[in-house]
Amino acid sequence: MQPSERRSLTVSVNPAYFIRWPPATPTIPAEQRALQFRPISRNVCSTGLSSCKVHAAEPGKRTPTILCIGDSLTSGSRGSFSYPEELQAMLEQEGIDMKVSNGGNWGDTTDQIRRRLPSLMQSVMSQGGRLAFVLVLAGTNDLLQLPPLEATISLSIPRIAGKIKEILDIASQAAFHPHVGILSLPPLLSRDVGRLKLNQSLRQLFGAPGLPHRSQVPGAGARFLVDLDTVDAALSTDGVHYGQEGYNQFAKRVMQVILPMLKADAAHRRLAVSSISA
């Protein structure tokens, strides 16, 4: 080829790798990039096993997702409100591009929730999601199925708390190492003594509300407790379930804990990108 015939060839290479904080490995692929903060429109989340679409994921990327798993306190009132729906709206108001999957199912005990969790996490992945958080609200139906005897309830609390811990352990081993949160139980009219004892056990297992700490599972994200212990019982519609105002309170308490974590994760990722670019 003569010099005049030479053509320049430009090869586009993307060398960027983004570090997860806390890092599970030295580097991770682009599909695990940091959360993107940008304004989005409000979308309504339906109850049951569903995903609230917030923003279509770009090709090759996965959408950061919060999986909420539990019983009817997660699925919400049939055809009405749920705390995942309220949480979705709050995330959008903050300009956070995430979607919330509602994995609540009426009547589920901790055993049933534990059995459903792997398939729910796989469902998020198959829909192009990346698990950023798993939120667990469980134990209400375990308490409701017990005889209303204080001695029986007290003896059952360690077993129920242990089942909840198993759920969190499974969630901590998920792909992308999500942060895992346990929500303590809100007021439960017919079993409130047992509820308070279970919440006390959860605090002993997972620490003070709102203080993330490292999981014992190697490489996993943080664990944290969201306090629903002091939600106003007057917001309950039947002594167990809640209306929109009650579920709004659930979501606000979740946001108080996860919003600083989201911002910290994003800041660490931006720092990692800047360091690599330099």
Per-residue confidence at 241, pLDDT binned at 50, 70, 90? very high
What's the mean pLDDT when you consider all of the chain? 80
**Does the pLDDT value for residue 48 go beyond 80?**
no
Report CA-CA distances (Å) from 172 to 82, 133, 134, 151, 165.
24, 9, 8, 33, 10
Report CA-CA distances (Å) from 116 to 34, 75, 216, 246.
28, 14, 22, 26
pLDDT number for residue 185: 98
What are 130's strand-pairing partners?
A: 64
pLDDT number for residue 136: 99
What are 225's strand-pairing partners?
A: 182
Percent of the chain at pLDDT > 70 equals 72
Q: What are phi and psi of 168, to 5 degrees?
A: -65, -35
pLDDT number for residue 232: 97
**Which residue would you say has higher pLDDT here, 269 or 102?**
102
User: 3-state class of 32 per DSSP?
Assistant: helix
Treating both helix axes as pointing N-terminal to C-terminal, what angle do 150-172 and 192-206 enclose, rounded to 10 degrees?
40
User: 3-state class of 45 per DSSP?
Assistant: coil
pLDDT number for residue 31: 38
**Does the pLDDT value for residue 225 go beyond 60?**
yes
Asked, as a colleague might, if the bond just before 22 is cis with ω within 30 of 0, I would say yes
What average pLDDT score do residues 80-90 get?
A: 95
The per-residue pLDDT for range 97-134, each reduced to its tens digit, is 999 999 999 999 999 999 999 999 999 999 999 999 99
Per-residue tokens: 246:
């009650």
pLDDT number for residue 89: 97
What average pLDDT score do residues 18-26 get?
A: 40
- Name, in order, each residue with C-beta under 8 angstroms of 35's C-beta and a sequence gap of 6 or more: 64, 96, 97, 98, 132, 262, 265, 266, 269
CATH 3.10.100.10 fits 30-277, yes or no: no
The per-residue pLDDT for range 166-184, each reduced to its tens digit, is 999 999 999 999 999 999 9
pTM of the model: 0.76
Per-residue tokens: 264:
């910290």
Q: What are phi and psi of 2, to 5 degrees?
A: -75, 155
What average pLDDT score do residues 59-85 get?
A: 89
Is the distance from CB of 70 to CB of 108 less than 8 angstroms? yes
For 85, half-sphere exposure in the C-beta direction (CA atoms, 13 angstrom radius) is: 23
User: 3-state class of 135 per DSSP?
Assistant: strand
Among 138-142, 196-200, 274-278, name the one with the lowest average pLDDT: 274-278
**Does the pLDDT value for residue 162 go beyond 50?**
yes
Report CA-CA distances (Å) from 96 to 54, 75, 135, 167, 241.
9, 22, 17, 27, 28
Question: For residue 209, with 0-12 CB atoms within 10 Å meaning exposed, 13-18 middle and 19 or more buried, which class applies?
Answer: buried
Per-residue confidence at 145, pLDDT binned at 50, 70, 90? very high
pLDDT number for residue 220: 67
pLDDT number for residue 268: 62
Per-residue confidence at 208, pLDDT binned at 50, 70, 90? confident
pLDDT number for residue 217: 56
For the chain, how many residues are written? 278
Per-residue tokens: 238:
């039947």
